[in-house]
Amino acid sequence: MRLSLGRWLLPLYTALALILLLIPIAYTFVFSFNDYFKTNIDWQGFTFRNWTNVCDAQGLCSAFGNSLMIGVVSTVLATAMGTALALALARYKFRGRSIISLLIFVPMATPEVVLAAGLASQFFTLNVEKGLGTVILAHTLFCLSFVVVTVKARVASLDPALEEAGRDLYAPPSQVFWRITFPLLVPGILAAALLSFALSFDDFIITYFNSGSLQTFPTFIYISASRGVPAEANVIASAVFIITLALVVTSQVVSRARAKALKRNA
């Protein structure tokens, strides 16, 4: 009896947890087809109009475009600087290395509201006008720690013998890096970049404190929530979820296909 209960309890718990996670996503997807008039709180009928006229909601497309721009720019900056810093911390010995490694975790451990308020106070003290530039800078600083930790873990897993083989073949340091080290780091760098973009695109607290009059997709949702998020916003959220899910599934299928090919060739 005890074994039978344990056998069914874990799958049941997993199914309930999955359902709870998927309910908000299902609600968002269903209400993207709602034929609403003023508020998108109650179901009023089915329509495809929201999907064909996404920009009908005032300010939605510009807010979404701002989020994409901020996410891309801050991801590029954070990934470039974070990769260089991760290589320096993992491969070289210098004064203050252990302190820097410790301080890297501070932004990750600090509550976002504290970090956001600190950055806002600093911009105010320096008399910097809040807008697109301050948000990009804030997101870059916030995402930098996550990039360093992710890439550093990848650097630590590299086999030094591969780089030694390149040096034994009289390859200069630049060729060793670009032809051996960098290709091996690409999976870690891509993972860090995707994580950085997701954190930036999804962020609300840091953006709210440092954006001034600039509106992003999360702040648009926050302002609209009191009267019901427009169905067009649900369309964008549903489209982002579907695209992300398709990319994950495609990645898993390609990875499994490559693993099977390697087993056949082994």
Sign of the CA dihedral running 138, 143, 244, 41: negative
For 227, the token pair is: 């009267």
Residue 12 has what pLDDT? 86
Q: Structural domain boundaries of the chain?
A: 56-229, 230-266
Mean pLDDT in consecutive groups of 10 residues from the start of the chain, 266 residues: 66 88 88 82 84 84 93 95 91 84 84 91 91 93 92 86 79 83 88 92 92 90 79 88 86 80 72
Residue 179 has what pLDDT? 85
Please tell me what DSSP assigns to residue 130: P
For 188, the token pair is: 């870690």
Q: List strand residue ranges (DSSP E) for 121-161, in order.
A: none
- Number of H-type helices and E-type strands within the chain: 13, 0
Residue 266 has what pLDDT? 60
* Residue 19 CB-half CA count within 13 A: 6
pTM: 0.83
Question: Which residues does residue 34 pair with via DSSP β-bridges, in sequence order?
Answer: 46
Q: Does domain 56-229 have CATH number 1.10.1610.10?
A: no
Quick check: 45 and 34 in contact, CB under 8 A? Answer: yes
Residue 96 — left, alpha, or beta (φ > 0 → left; ψ -120 to 50 → alpha)?
left
